[in-house]
A = this chain, B = another copy of it.
Amino acid sequence: MKDARVLGVLGGMGPLAGATFMQRLTLLTPAERDQDHIPSVLWSDPRVPDRTAARIAGGEDPLPWLMRGIRGLEAAGCGAIAIPCNTAHGWFDGMQAATRLPILHIVEAAADELLRLGITGGPIGLLATKGTLAMRLYQERLESRGHECLAPPAEEMDRVVMPAIELVKANKVSAAYAPLAEAAQRLVARGAKAVVLGCTEIPLGISAGPALPFPVADTIDALARAAIAWAKPAG
């Protein structure tokens, strides 16, 4: 696919998030027929070693697996890469240094999504993996935009948030709704004006139940909007 803006999607982390990214990319694209949609290639390799385990428990380095996917997307003729996995962005600099293709950064997309929601400053709740929190992927970027980041305490991360993320990866999506909705609610009770769903499994769980009564920045939708802006630049 060499004659158009073809989007490369490095997915599989997890696979349901990657597939849902493709669905949201399609549904958010203005289109009247197949041929109006964005050509894209999804490289869905769920064998990439666990990103949180790699960062905080000495697990296998995912970077060689991530680079294998990027080489596949380059060979397919893609012009940019979107990675619907927040934790994988801990290896962003290594990936970006190794490819000439621009990689759309999911945290920048999430920050833009907050603006789109009309949230221009103040405390923001952050639901993410322990790896994403430990690597501080969100904290500096959001603080530079005038936000303070509130995350669940470590005990709640272990007891509630990480098990809920695992439920989604095990296809038990509906069961993830209640714990994630309650964790988000507790961040709002602590003063958050909005909650960033900063792990792409989390919006899948949150979508399985009633809409939350406060603003949330869904990082799957945020990255899809960034990809559409890349593929179909205005003007």
Determine the distance from Cα of A36 to Cα of B1 in the docked complex, in whole angstroms. 30
Contact with B along A134-163 (1 / 0, CB 8 A): 000000000000000000000000000000
Query: Is B15 in contact with A37, judged by CB distance below 8 angstroms?
Result: yes
Contact with B along A66-104 (1 / 0, CB 8 A): 001000100111000000000000000000000000000
Contact with B along A25-50 (1 / 0, CB 8 A): 11101011111111111111111101
Query: Is B48 in contact with A44, judged by CB distance below 8 angstroms?
Result: no
What is the size category of the interface that chain A forms with chain B?
35 or more
Q: Which residues of B contact A72 (CB under 8 A)?
A: 1, 41, 76-77
Determine the distance from Cα of A37 to Cα of B75 in the docked complex, in whole angstroms. 24
| Interface-lining segment among A111-119, A165-173, A178-186, A191-199 | A165-173
Does A12 belong to the interface (CB within 8 Å)?
A: yes
Q: A39-B47, A41-B44 are in contact. Are A26 and B34 (CB under 8 A)?
A: no
Other-chain contact of A44, B20, B22, B32 (Cβ < 8 Å): B22
Q: A15-B22, A22-B18 are in contact. Are A47 and B35 (CB under 8 A)?
A: yes
Other-chain contact of A41, B27, B37, B41, B50 (Cβ < 8 Å): B41
Q: Which residues of B contact A29 (CB under 8 A)?
A: 171
Instruction: Give the shortest distance, in Å, between A81 (CB) and chain B (any CB).
Output: 14
Query: Is A19 in contact with B16, judged by CB distance below 8 angstroms?
Result: no
Does A56 belong to the interface (CB within 8 Å)?
A: no
Instruction: Give the shortest distance, in Å, between A83 (CB) and chain B (any CB).
Output: 14
Determine the distance from Cα of A21 to Cα of B80 in the docked complex, in whole angstroms. 23
10 contacts between A and B (CB under 8 A): A1-B72, A12-B39, A14-B34, A19-B25, A37-B44, A39-B46, A41-B72, A42-B42, A43-B76, A75-B75
10 closest pairs, A vs B, by CB?
A19-B22, A37-B46, A42-B42, A19-B23, A34-B46, A15-B37, A15-B26, A14-B34, A16-B26, A32-B170
